Amino acid sequence: MYAVIKTGGKQYRVATGEKIKVEQLPADIGSQVAVDVLMVADGDKISIGAPLVAGAKVEATVVSHGRHDKVTIFKMRRRKHYQRHGGHRQNYTEIQIGAIQIGAISA
């Protein structure tokens, strides 16, 4: 069984027990969060939402918060003596997927 969830403007295919890094969530470590479910597949049975699946729920636990590796930004204009250096580190929240529920059925 797997589900497609949406959080932070991105979509993720998740299964029970997986750990994924998503955009930063305003939640404490160890707390439970519920995420929007766009699709749930259980074997041959597939439920697709419009836009969300009614009655479906994915529970996740916040494992940690952190920052990704630095992305280097470099701008240059040739022959103009112009150079700019910069960097960016995006914040993330690591969550562990718990139960995937389709109405009354859970896994």
pLDDT in tens, 33-43: 999 999 999 88
| 65-83 pLDDT, tens digit each | 999 999 999 999 999 999 9
**Mean pLDDT confidence for 47-66:** 93
Q: Does residue 107 have a pLDDT over 60?
A: no
Using the structure block, give the residue that is written with the tokens 């701008």: 75
CB 19 within 8 A of CB 7: no
104 pLDDT above the threshold of 60: no
Is 103 a residue whose pLDDT tops 80? Answer: no
Instruction: Report, in angstroms and rounded to the nearest whole number, the Rg of the chain calculated over CA atoms.
Output: 19
Which distant-in-sequence residues (6+ apart) come within 8 Å of 101 by Cβ? 55, 56, 57, 58, 59, 107
